């Protein structure tokens, strides 16, 4: 506020007032033009999903002239957009933490996906996401020269991605595990399964006790698509025997067979590994002796819940594999497409890591609805196999699996 002094000239006061307004206006304009460091708007996030050759791709991936010096650009502080099925909250990042497998799921290690469009190649996609073509091919069980199909769903691994599980060292020699009744650690689960319609069996292996806990041990079930896991393990083991340093599985059929449960891929790969006899030989060398692969219809192959837990135990320890090939199997089973993530994944607490495979098939006497896999209960690794036949409906079978996982996740395991 201005105060007029006695005897002062009104014209001088008026001109002084106008001068102050002009200076204040000029300073305000300058201040608005000076943005503080770090708040300059970033480029639109999501350009990595642009089609090859699109304007977005050209703008954000310029090709420097030959011999030109490229000045590194400070990366944007905005994290990549999550896949639609992933949580939208920003992950917690700690740049000082050494990347290693951990039992605690990390948001940056959750699987991201890319859907192939016309003209895509593995090399082009790897550049788009800032990863090596070898890592991209390995994560998807592909050769680096694989031909991609429009609409194909590719896993985009993180730079430090290995597994959401703390995996043990690779070993070829595994002693027989101890055996116990599932009721001794999960009485509520056994009581629940007993109350359900149809026929059920369950097996749970705990690495900390090296014990398989079983219920309805000797009942044999037709496997439906869970047979695809023995087929996968046979292919990976054969690749390891051909090349003990192999990092690629030597086939492009594993991704569709496991992640989307493609039946044509399973038939082709079963023939490629040498048919049912070759899969049974692979199982036998791992101490799995109650599984029979049907030569006429692989979905009607038979097994027991303990047999499939024994197979996953063998995979968990990397028996007759190396670390890269074990990693391929675990990552594929962790990347099942969203519309098949019912049952056990839905019954576990949110964020629980899981690598699994399901199988479902309608028969004359009801539905087969199975799931096998590796997960965690209160920070402890759990390998499980839940087999259910004669389920009244598919939804009833899915409920059996979901509630089984929910009950097991509440148990205080040894």
Q: Give 64's pLDDT tier (boundaries 50, 70, 90).
A: very low
Q: Give the integer Cα–Cα distance in Å for 67 and 307.
A: 60
Q: Tokens 């003209």: give the residue.
A: 119
Question: Is the Cβ–Cβ distance between 132 and 126 less than 8 Å?
Answer: yes
Evaluate the CA torsion angle 50, 52, 54, 60 in order and state its sign: positive
Distance CA 250, CA 238 (A): 9
CA pair distance 394, 76, nearest whole angstrom? 47
386 vs 45: which has the higher pLDDT: 386
pLDDT at 214 over 60: yes
Q: What is the pLDDT of residue 16?
A: 62
Portion of the chain with pLDDT greater than 70, in percent: 71
Q: What percent of the chain has pLDDT over 90?
A: 56
**pLDDT beyond 60 at 323:** yes
Most confident of the following: 45-49, 71-75, 199-203: 199-203
Predicted local confidence at residue 15, as pLDDT:
63
Nearest to 387 by CA among 366, 359, 413: 359
Contact 301, 225 (CB under 8 A): no
Report the pLDDT averaged over residues 153-165.
Answer: 64
* Diameter over CA atoms, the chain: 115
How far lies 366's CA from each of 294, 353, 362, in Å? 20, 31, 6
Element (H, E) at 375: strand 366-377
Please list, in sequence order, all residues whose beta carbon lies within 8 angstroms of the beta carbon of residue 393, skipping any fewer than 6 positions away.
Answer: 367
> Model confidence over 20-39: pLDDT tens digits?
665 555 544 443 333 332 22
- Region 286-310: mean pLDDT is 97
**Given pLDDT bands bounded at 50, 70 and 90, which one contains residue 113?**
confident
- Alpha carbon distances (Å) from 240 to 163, 249, 317: 20, 8, 15
Domains and their CATH numbers in the chain = 178-408 (3.40.710.10)
40-64: burial string, b at 16+ Cβ within 10 Å, e else: eeeeeeebbbbebeeebbeeeeeee
- Euclidean distance between CA atoms 376 and 402, whole angstroms: 15
pLDDT at 157: 75
- Better-predicted residue by pLDDT, 355 or 42: 355
pLDDT band at 271 (very low <50, low <70, confident <90, very high): very high
In which band, very low, low, confident or very high, does the pLDDT at 333 lie, cut at 50, 70 and 90?
Answer: very high
Q: What average pLDDT score do residues 286-314 get?
A: 98
Most trustworthy range by pLDDT among 56-70, 106-120, 244-258: 244-258
């Amino acid at each position: 506020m201005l105060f007029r002094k006695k005897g002062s000239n009104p014209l001088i006061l008026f001109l002084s007032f106008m001068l102050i307004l002009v200076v204040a206006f000029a300073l305000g304009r300058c201040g608005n033009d000076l943005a503080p460091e770090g708040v300059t708007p970033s480029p639109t996030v999501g350009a990595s999903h642009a089609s090859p050759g699109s304007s977005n791709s050209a703008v954000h991936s310029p090709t420097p002239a030959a011999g030109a010096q490229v000045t590194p650009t400070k990366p944007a502080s905005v994290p990549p957009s999550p896949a639609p099925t992933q949580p939208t909250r920003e992950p917690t990042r700690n740049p000082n933490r050494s990347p290693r497998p951990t039992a605690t799921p990390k948001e940056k290690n959750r699987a991201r996906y890319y859907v192939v469009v016309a003209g895509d190649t593995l090399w082009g996609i790897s550049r788009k996401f800032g990863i090596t073509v070898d890592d991209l091919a390995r994560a998807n069980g592909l050769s680096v020269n694989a031909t991609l199909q429009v609409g194909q769903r590719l896993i985009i691994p993180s730079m430090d991605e290995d597994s959401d599980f703390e995996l043990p060292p690779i070993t070829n020699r595994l002693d027989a595990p101890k055996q116990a009744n599932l009721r001794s650690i999960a009485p509520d689960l056994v009581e629940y399964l007993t109350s359900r319609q149809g026929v059920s069996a369950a097996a749970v292996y705990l690495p900390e006790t090296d014990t398989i806990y079983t219920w309805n041990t000797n009942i044999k079930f037709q496997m439906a698509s869970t047979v695809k896991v023995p087929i996968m393990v046979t292919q990976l083991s054969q690749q390891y025997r051909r090349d003990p340093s192999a990092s690629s599985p030597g086939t492009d059929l594993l991704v569709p067979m496991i992640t989307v449960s493609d039946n044509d891929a399973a038939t082709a790969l079963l023939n490629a590994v040498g048919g049912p006899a070759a899969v049974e030989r692979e199982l036998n060398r791992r101490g799995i002796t109650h599984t029979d692969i049907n030569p006429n219809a692989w979905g009607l192959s038979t097994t027991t819940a303990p047999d499939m837990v024994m197979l996953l135990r063998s995979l968990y320890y990397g028996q007759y594999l190396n670390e890269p090939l074990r990693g391929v199997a675990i990552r594929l089973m962790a990347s099942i497409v969203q519309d098949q993530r019912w049952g056990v994944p839905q019954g576990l607490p949110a964020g629980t890591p899981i690598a699994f495979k399901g199988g479902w098939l309608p028969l004359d006497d009801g539905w087969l609805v199975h799931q096998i896999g590796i997960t965690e209960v209160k920070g402890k690794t759990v390998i499980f196999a839940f087999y259910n036949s004669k389920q009244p409906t598919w939804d009833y079978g899915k409920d059996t699996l979901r509630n089984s996982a929910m009950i097991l996740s509440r148990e205080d395991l040894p």
